Amino acid sequence: MTPNPPRQQLGPAPNARSHLPPRLRGILSLGDLEAAARRTLPRPIFGYLQGGVEDNVTLQANTSAFRQWLFRTNVLVNVSRRDQATTLMGTAYRAPFGIAPMGLCALFAFEGDLALARAAEAAGIPFVLSGASLTPMERVAQAAPTCGWFQAYIPGEPAHIEGLVQRVTQAGFRTLVVTVDTATLANRENNVRVGFSTPLRPSLRLAWDGLIRPRWLLGTLAQTLVKNGMPHFENAGAGRGVPIISRSVVRQFGLRDHLNWEHLALIRRLWTGKLVVKGLISADDVRRAEQAGADGVILSNHGGRQLDGTAPPLRTVSEAARVKGSMALMLDSGVRRGTDVLKALALGADHVFVGRPMAYAAAVGGQAGVAHAIGLLYDEIHRDMALLGVSSLAELNDGHLIPA
């Protein structure tokens, strides 16, 4: 096992780019990572990661929602001791953002899940391992012992739930995230258009797309096959799942349309750690999750990858904050800038999660790429707090915002 790296030194560093690998020196923001990942990944893999569903209405609305708010700043404030450290569900983190769960990360970078987990652990921010990941959860729990969370896709089958919860407990995770917005497979037309499918189907087109991306072919795919063998869905249940080329993939991730509040109650009885419910949009569901004993909720529309036309979480966070009770209120979907993070916190969120940019970062630069992306966002927040006129995140409220 690779030892965990020392905690990353966060905060502005003069001439930091000169010490970066050449491929990262031109990455000045999270937005720059998308184009860099497009040049790195085969077209089907990149298309799967980038795309939403149907007409991408929600995908585009997620980012534009942040532009619908402008800041009201305060000046002549001593902000020399500003601090963005935060406590979430009893655990201290060094920044108010984390890495959202994303499936298939081991296809984006060699041992991509571990690259993300180790970078998050070094930076002191939460990392959520996806239930659709290709790396055994036990390895990831070792890589991120203090910052690792596990996210589960759970069909409405008590026996399956019991086995999975037991495995997550034994792996050492202390926070379980249950995703509840996947009652059926979404209409991901973009996957068809770019030639991506689940299960993966070998074809001349897929082979060609890989050949023209030799860095990915040798550095990710070949290295994975040599060192770890054919990737499997490792964490869908109590045991190892099916390989990514198996026709049983769809069946393994099926039966989620049976999942209901009674199953969440069962999970609450079985799971002794922190329980987070992900994929809520309405305040009514937030209230019901609090009544069911959840410790936190993540407002999310799955990054625009489920029901097209679903409202962005930022549009509903204020009303959710009014009914959350003692729960932690988090959100994902569309976060790209430090200003986005501060807007979400000002509207009532306790924490935010970033998805695609961190996967792009892993594709471009492995663990170093993810560490760079984390550092960019941390630095933006540090700078933005000074310009906004706040020294701590607790000072943020909706008085700092004006509708655009």
Closest to 97 measured CA to CA, from 383, 336, 347, 279: 336
Greatest extent of the chain over all pairs of C-alpha atoms, in Å: 63
80-95: b (≥16 Cβ within 10 Å) or e: eebebebebbeeebbb
Sequence-separated contacts (24+) of 238-247 with Cβ below 8 Å: 238/160, 238/163, 238/164, 238/166, 238/167, 239/163, 239/167, 240/136, 243/199, 244/104, 244/107, 244/134, 244/198, 244/199, 244/200, 245/199, 245/200, 245/201, 245/202, 246/199, 247/199
H/E segment holding residue 70: strand 69-71
* Tally of helices (H runs) and strands (E runs) in the chain: 17, 12
Catalytic residues: 302
Closest to 248 measured CA to CA, from 229, 232, 235, 259: 232
Token pair of 187 as six digits: 């209409």
Q: Please state, in angstroms and rounded to a whole number, the distance separating the CA atoms of residues 393 and 403.
A: 21
Q: What value, to the nearest 5°, has the Cα angle with vertex 284 and ends 278 and 285?
A: 25
